[in-house]
A = this chain, B = another copy of it.
């Protein structure tokens, strides 16, 4: 036993010097989702909806002029969550929204500047409340429609498991810009070891590894939408059941059967006395979210 190690905790902390160690930098990046209407010409038809993501145009190096997820460095005296909220306020003028931590990305070479570890958050915002409207705001904060599709799938079954390789194409589009990225997801499931690897293959106009983070968030959003009531964070105070259904459909990228859908979400909604009007067809009853009594971990 070394005598010199016999110092008490108070003294130890006083002498503690962080600068002795090489430290990574830490950022937060937030995927802000909304589901917004596409304007239509036919006065009787309901507007279609699109899944949107908020991106900002980078004003500085690296990836200058590319688009990126809103986010930035975590300050030494703020929590991760507060950092995410602060960056959202500063960069996009969004506040008081649903925010949830997703995953922390710790690859060594994610960022060309230095070692940067990034915690990603997912935010959901009611489309009608969103103050950032495409085109009307400053040049560098925009909603992009977000579509992902599997363009290649490869399954190899060997001895004691399988390997599933998927190439996914991600399309981010608004009136002026279109960004396309490709990512590879490899899912190896052997007897003993199972693992998943995500890798950006190409990413034009989209900064860092944000394509991969975006796709991860979509997988998570889809999973949450099926098991929880997060969707209501994307709805305005009052909504029709058809609107609610199309939000589900846009996120899950499938069509649902109305009767079954209504049965399933019945417990989450509550009638109001109001109806839609002037729609060129039968008016729909407006509903609101019925606050739940229990808590879902996921």
Query: Which residues of A are in contact with B by a Cβ distance under 8 Å?
Result: 5, 7-9, 12-13, 16, 18, 21-26, 60-64, 73-81, 83, 96, 98, 101, 103-104, 106-108, 112-115, 117, 119, 157, 160-162, 164, 187, 189, 191-194, 196, 219-220, 222-223, 289, 291-293, 295, 297-298
The number of times this chain is found in the oligomer is 2
**Contact across chains for A295 and B220 when beta carbons are under 8 A apart:** no
- A157→B164 CA distance, assembly (Å): 47
Do B108 and A61 have beta carbons less than 8 Å apart?
no
11 pairs, CB–CB < 8 Å, chain A vs chain B: A7-B61, A13-B112, A18-B25, A18-B113, A21-B73, A77-B108, A77-B115, A96-B192, A98-B194, A160-B291, A189-B295
Asked if B62 and A12 sit within 8 Å, CB to CB, the answer is yes
Beyond the given pairs A18-B25, A161-B291, A222-B297, 17 more chain A to chain B contacts, judged by CB atoms under 8 angstroms and listed by A's residue number, are A7-B61, A9-B64, A12-B60, A16-B113, A18-B114, A22-B76, A23-B25, A74-B117, A77-B108, A78-B108, A96-B193, A101-B103, A117-B117, A160-B291, A191-B291, A196-B295, A219-B297
Of A292, A295, A297, chain B has the most CB atoms within 10 Å of the CB of: A295
Known contacts: A16-B114, A74-B117, A291-B189. The answer to whether A297 contacts B223 by CB under 8 A is yes
Residue of B nearest to A230 (CB): B194
Q: State the Cβ distance, A59 to closest chain B Cβ, in Å.
A: 9
Q: Determine the distance from Cα of A161 to Cα of B291 in the docked complex, in whole angstroms.
A: 6
CB distance from A116 to the nearest CB of B (A): 9
A75: chain B residues at CB < 8 Å are: 22
Q: A61-B7, A101-B103 are contacts. A24–B291 as well, Cβ < 8 Å?
A: no
A297 to B16, CA, bound (A): 42
User: Max chain B CB contacts within 10 Å: which of A13, A24, A78, A295?
Assistant: A24
